[in-house]
Amino acid sequence: MAADLDGVYLWLAPWAAWTESDEGGDSLFGVELALTAVRERAALGLLGVTMGAARYAEGDAGRLWASAALGTRRGLGLMLGVSAGPIIELSELAHPRIGGGVGVWLFAGLVPFARVAAVPQRGILAEVGLEIALPLRRW
């Protein structure tokens, strides 16, 4: 018998990704905080908001973001979703650059994801990564 996972959750997710842009490739390491409502048997199985911060492994730059996330268990049986929202690239040597991105993710214990973003003066960013979503609180 499957557990009832329906509820509102607060998640903390450390993550790592590889990103490619017009400036070349780099790895990112960060953390994301998410507030989600989960309804496993509904067509819209997850509705949530996230915010996070990450730092590039090379250089003096980092990123802040916020996003809306939607997910469903229809089709694969695992929670598959999309996210979209603004991104702010920060650097010690440049003004903040504001852009936006969209991503896809799969919740399978670990959360693999892929994202495409556009940021002025950086161009198009493409990244793939993995996060570990840790539930902090369930209501």
The pLDDT score that the predictor gives to residue 121 is 84
3-state secondary structure of 119: strand
Contact 9, 135 (CB under 8 A): yes
Per-residue pLDDT of the chain (139 residues; tens, 9 = 90+): 456 889 999 999 999 999 998 888 999 999 999 999 999 889 999 999 999 999 999 988 999 999 999 999 988 889 999 999 999 999 988 899 999 999 999 998 899 999 999 999 888 999 999 999 999 999 9
3-state secondary structure of 96: coil
pTM, whole model, 2 decimals? 0.89
Closest by CA to 127, choosing from 96, 94, 99, 91, is: 99
Residue 102 CA to its chain's centroid (Å): 9
Contact 111, 129 (CB under 8 A): no
Domains of the chain, by residue range, sit at: 7-138
CATH topology (fold) of 7-138:
Porin (2.40.160)
